[in-house]
Amino acid sequence: HDLPRPAAAAVAAWARRVAPSGARPVVIVDQFEETFTLCPDEAERRAFIEVLHAACSPVGPGEPAPAVVVLGIRADFYYRCLRYPELADALQHRHMVLGPLTTTELREAVTGPAKAVGLELEPGLAELIVREVSADGLRPAHDAGVLPLLSHALLATWQRRKGGRLTLAGYRAAGGIQGAVAATAERAWAGLDPAARTAARLLLLRLVRLGEDTQATRRRGTRRQLAQESADPGKTEESLEALVRARLVTLDAETVEITHEALLHAWPRLRDWIDEDRQGNLLRQRLEEDGRAWEESNRDTSLLYRGSRLEQAHGWARSAGDTFLTRSAVEFLAASVRLRRRIIWISRGAVAALVVLAVLAGGSAVVAWKQRDAAVFEQVLAQSDRVQHTDPSLSAQLDLVAHGLRPDDKGANSRLISIVNAPLSRPLTGHTGAVYLTTFSPDGRVLATASYDRTVRLWDVDDPKRPKPLGRPLTGHTSWVSSAVFSPDGRTLASASDDGTIRLWDVTGPGQPKPLGEPLTGHHGTIYLIAFSPDGRTLASAGDDRTVRLWNMADTSRPRALGEPLTGHTAAVRSVAFGPDGGTLAAGGDDGTIRLWDVSGPGRPQPAGTPLTGHTATVHSVDFSPDGRTLAGGSADGTVHLWNMAGPGRPAAVGAPLTGHTGPVWSVAFSPDGNMLAAASADSTASLWKVGDPEHASQVGGPLAGSSGEMYALGFSPDGRTLATGAGDNRVRLWSLPMSDMTGRTGVFRPDGRLLATAARDGRIRLWDVRTPGRPIRIGEPFRPGQGDVRSLDFSPDGRTLAIVTGDRVVELWNLGDPERPVRHGSPAPLRVRYADPLAFSPDGRILATAYDDRTVQLWNIGDPARPRPLGLPLTGHKGYINHLVFGPDGRTLASGSADGTIRLWNTTDPGRVTLIGAPLRGHLGAVNALALSRDGRTLASAGDDNSVRLWDVTDPAEASEQARLTGHTEAVVSLTFSRDGRTLASGGNDSTVRLWNVSDPAHATAIGPSMSPNAKTGTFLAFSPNSHMLGVSSGADTIRLWDLDVDTAVRRICSMTRGVLTPDTWREYLPRLSYDPPCDS
């Protein structure tokens, strides 16, 4: 508004000229802070600001502003902006803070622009860039200052592109992030005068932390502190600005920090400064830190140096000169020297007083030790929590450390029990590049892994708990190896590479593999995947040249091409798989389709139908189920699609796409029994899916996490117990998969605890022998009662009868005297329920209680299970649905819990004339979802929508009263169960957690440790086994698992599957206050 009118009009005219369509131009001024650093003339600076303000201010009333002006400015210059009213107003009302990029955003910053202009990134390049940028620590976000370095590295990579592809070789030739750092740093250094160079050297050394035996790392400082402590504040400020402009140093409102750890070892000049006098730099660093602490404590004399430490520091300072020290360090050292002169005369005659002081100090030391022990214990638990979801195996090891510190701590023990039910992994190290494929030999004793480091490695996994390398890596390929697969007889290994060749190896003696013949050639470009036919006579290869080739492997010493290449794909072919009968071949590629070929006559393959569509991006992986009825495809669109291959006509998509991954799906694989599908993703995780019924596929448990790079590969062992994954962090991981999974969303133990009945989403009931909890065995074939889904089920006390409420509103009784051959008793008894489905047998097994019409309870005489008869009229009084029923141990009392928030107790001494006992029990602030009664019948537990569990004293039902209210769940509590001895109560909630409670004294019940997560998405089953320390838990949409609550068993399993996870480096990162002592080595 202060700008002369002609100038304002000129700005408006300019805007109309550059945007004649009426759209306002956008003026972007980046690095606006240079207005203050590079412009010494205040009048010129103010005029520039006023011109910008005029450009975004209306010329006249009712007129729009000529343009939009966007300023990009560092946060540490905000205070300079506040001196100008125009900028102050913008900061206050039109201010957007741009935080650092997350890992996902960083990856998009690399891949998005490339994709926009049609460039392709070689597999592994984006992951490598993110890993290099993240090399200075596990951070959720990345400093903004790294972006110019990344831009410089990508520009150099683009200049070395291969056709329309950015390659790993080009990135490495450009020097990557380190090359960009070194080049930028040297240019910035060259632009400084000698005095500023000296200041810059001291400044950078003060932003570096040295360790005695470790590499140098970054440290933070403040701008004010660096200036105040400098011998030449003016030159320090000048050099700081130069380093910030070059993005070598990141500066915000308060702190200063080297932008990227790479600067410390990639820039030779700084590396030489650090190394040329490492001991001197260490001494200087300690001296400056101690001087700073002395200043901050108001120059406390107890912090001054004495003895040999003073002699060492004083001697170094005399030789180096004060120029290399901060002001506070110089004054600290001088005060230490003065103190030494004063204390020479201290008397030696106060021995008695010193003894008294020593005794007092000893008592204080004990207290301090206990406080330190508690602090360390809490630190270990906090570190475990930090990685619980990103690396369960490391979390389990940290929990073991906590258990070792406090073996009797209930909280630490419950954590072990909880995490042992998650898939745990053991890392295999040796590769120096990303691992692209993992394949087990047919007998499961050898694992082959293919890597970016141009090698194939073989591993002895006969005992997956103690894997070890086999022989030397297989070499010969001249570029990264994409694939390594065994022939069905296990005698031959084939490997494929980016060099366009396939190599064959004789692995009859896997410790000494031998090359077979010459490499197979024919593809033009990368070969992405190879696969043997089930009979081993044919090998298929998928390539960058848009073809699939078949090779005759009848004689592995003389393999030869079979016919012409299979064509049809319009872009690179990424994946290939044979059906189990060997007659069908599937291939997926960059065109987003899967093509099928009839290869029953390998010399004359024919296209089979039209391409399968549905994916919206590259199909990276395809796999057939073992029975050949289902085909799975994993894609860069982040989904897995399933197709029914057994129906009449062309294959049809089955079920909804499997979603949940936040990055491309690189690999899919069926388990040997076909009930499970695994998917590996660029989001650094793998997922497990139950696909026995592909129409209703459901995820099992949480993601398999722990990789710090994209997860490229996975494969099941032949026994299905182990999953091998390969990732961009150069590691192979062997995952121990829980083998106690059973199909079902709800269930019930037989009273003897030896059998479990489960009901699944498919409406069928399965019976399981759980005498060996770690490996339940299904008994007989699943059977389907009624026409609808199974709503609830319960065993009679003698275990011979199973009562079932079905979705078609009936209760059925089944004879399970022979679990192999379940037989229904008579005809179903009709109910009038719509939603209520509770069941309860009386202790003598002669009476069954059910809901009758949602809000009433009906008792049935089942003395003859084939002819159940109603006993008396339905019990009325509840105003909401009946959610749960339970009989007392003497059969004289029945408790009912309802959505009306009340519990009613009924006298069932005469089942034909049931009466209400006392007034309804009130206390819950919402529906009562579940009830459980202790074995002695004295304590009733209830679970409610109010997220609480309540305990009631029902020793005398007529005088029942609330004893305790247990809180901790964050959503509705939906299941309850007492342990066999009645001392422990387990509760399950919609917050996907299970909590254990010590109810030995119900009036003073307490939680046992933190909550335990079963990774339950849906399902309400929770039950202690009647005869063991096992707990049955819903652990997914249609999965039930048995948890072993024995701590020693949990410790043994964690050690057997995660040994080697807690390396010395990892220990130093997470437990710096403890000496290295791996918990599984003792």
Q: Is the pLDDT of residue 707 over 80?
A: no
Instruction: Give the pLDDT mean for 383-406.
Output: 86
Higher pLDDT, 658 or 375: 658
Torsion of CA 410, 412, 416, 422, to 10 degrees: 120
521 versus 21: which is more confidently predicted? 521
pLDDT at 924: 95
Q: Identify which has the larger pLDDT, 340 or 823.
A: 823
Rounded Cα distance between 931 and 577, Å, is: 52
Query: Contact, 392 vs 422, CB < 8 A?
Result: yes
**Higher-scoring residue by pLDDT: 301, 52:** 52
pLDDT of residue 748: 95
DSSP class of residue 277?
T
pLDDT at 366 over 80: no
Q: At what angle do helices 176-190 and 146-159 cross, to 10 degrees?
A: 110
Q: pLDDT above 90 covers what percent of the chain?
A: 45
Q: Is the predicted pLDDT of residue 144 greater than 70, yes or no?
A: no
Q: Give residue 950's pLDDT.
A: 96
pLDDT band at 152 (very low <50, low <70, confident <90, very high): low
Checking if the pLDDT of 360 tops 60, the result is no
Given this model, what pLDDT does residue 335 score? Answer: 86
Tokens of 90: 């913008």
Tokens 């510190």 correspond to 405
Banded model confidence at residue 762, pLDDT cuts 50, 70, 90: confident
pLDDT digits (tens, 9 = 90+) for 625-637: 999 999 999 999 9
Residue of higher predicted confidence among 1018 and 266 = 266
Best-predicted range by mean pLDDT among 330-339, 609-618, 1003-1012? 609-618
Q: What's the pLDDT tens digit per position in 779-821? A: 999 999 977 788 999 999 999 999 999 988 899 999 999 999 9
Residue 139 confidence class, pLDDT cut points 50, 70, 90:
very low
- pLDDT of the residue at 3: 54
Tokens of 856: 């009433």
Mean pLDDT of 846-872: 93
3-state secondary structure of 143: coil
- Predicted TM-score (pTM) of this structure: 0.64
The per-residue pLDDT for 1015 is 59
Angle at which helices 327-343 and 278-296 pack, to 10 degrees? 80
Q: Are 804 and 795 in contact (CB under 8 A)?
A: no
- Which residue did the predictor score with more confidence, 466 or 182? 466
pLDDT at 215: 58
- Residue 235 scores a pLDDT above 70: yes
Q: Categorize the per-residue pLDDT at 351 as very low, low, confident or very high, splitting at 50, 70 and 90.
A: very low
Mean pLDDT of the chain: 85
CA distances from 455 to 125, 234, 431, 483, 717 (A): 18, 55, 8, 10, 22
Q: Is the pLDDT of residue 1063 over 70?
A: yes
* Partner residues linked to 778 by β-bridges: 768
- DSSP annotation of 63 reads P
Cβ atoms of residues 1066 and 397 within 8 Å: no
pLDDT of residue 330: 80
Are the CB atoms for 622 and 667 separated by under 8 Å? Answer: no
Whether 585 contacts 595, CB under 8 Å: no
Mean pLDDT of 102-119: 83
Maximum average pLDDT range among 214-223, 267-276, 580-589, 690-699: 580-589
Q: Among 865, 866, 867, 835, which Cα is nearest to 851's?
A: 835
pLDDT at res. 628 = 95
More confident call, 339 vs 467: 467
Query: For 659-670, what is each residue's pLDDT tens digit?
Result: 989 889 999 999
Q: Report pLDDT for 867.
A: 92
Q: Among 19-28, 486-495, 570-579, 892-901, where is mean pLDDT lowest?
A: 19-28
What value, to the nearest 5°, has the Cα angle with vertex 188 and ends 182 and 189?
A: 90
**Cβ neighbours of residue 228 closer than 8 Å, sequence gap 6 or more:** 327
Are 144 and 100 spatial neighbours (Cβ–Cβ below 8 Å)? yes
pLDDT band of residue 984 (cuts 50, 70, 90) is very high
| CB burial of residue 202 (10 Å; 0-12, 13-18, 19+) | buried
- Model confidence band, residue 122 (pLDDT cutoffs 50, 70, 90): confident
Listed in order, the ranges of the chain carrying CATH 2.130.10.10 are 424-736
**Which residue has better confidence, 177 or 235?**
235
- Give the residue with greater pLDDT, 204 vs 1028: 204
In one-letter notation, the amino acid at residue 1055 is C
Give 253's pLDDT tier (boundaries 50, 70, 90).
low
Instruction: With a cut of 60, say whether residue 213 has pLDDT above it.
Output: no
Q: How far is CA 801 from CA 750, 845, 846, in A?
A: 10, 9, 11
Averaged pLDDT, 840-845: 95
Taking 60 as the threshold, does the pLDDT of residue 1053 lie above it?
A: yes
174 confidence band (pLDDT: 50, 70, 90)? low
Residue 609 has pLDDT above 80, yes or no: yes
**Cβ-based neighbours of 113, under 8 Å, separated by 6 or more:** none
* pLDDT for 1082: 66
320 pLDDT more than 70: no
Identify which has the larger pLDDT, 324 or 869: 869
With 80 as the cut, is the pLDDT of residue 840 above it? yes
CB atoms within 10 A of CB 934: 20
What tens digit of pLDDT does each residue of 409-425 get?
877 888 888 776 677 88
Instruction: Give the mean pLDDT of 816-842.
Output: 91
How far is the first Cα of the chain from the last one, in angstroms, to the nearest whole number?
78
Return the closest-CA partner of residue 730 out of 703, 714, 710, 715: 710
Report the alpha-carbon distance of residue 121 to residue 728 in Å, rounded.
15
Architecture of domain 424-736: 7 Propeller (2.130)
In a 3-state reduction of DSSP, which class is residue 456? strand
Do 1073 and 376 touch, CB atoms closer than 8 A? Answer: yes
The mean-pLDDT minimum among 374-383, 474-483, 997-1006 falls in 374-383
- What pairing do the DSSP bridges indicate for beta strands 949-953 and 548-552? unpaired
**Stretch 240-248: mean pLDDT, rounded?**
83
For 909-917, what is the mean pLDDT?
A: 94
What local confidence, expressed as pLDDT, does residue 206 receive?
A: 81
What's residue 259's pLDDT? 75
Report whether pLDDT(827) > 70. Answer: yes
When pLDDT is averaged across residues 122-128 and rounded to a whole number, the result is 81
Spatial separation of the C-alpha atoms in residues 927 and 1043, rounded to whole Å? 28
Mean pLDDT of 5-21: 75
> Mean of the pLDDT values across residues 981-988?
92
Tokens of 374: 């508690």
Q: Which residues contact 400 (CB under 8 A, 6 or more apart)?
A: 416, 1051, 1054, 1055, 1079, 1080
If pLDDT is split at 50, 70 and 90, which confidence band does 739 have? confident
Q: What is the mean pLDDT of residues 769-775?
A: 86
Which residue type does 924 have? H
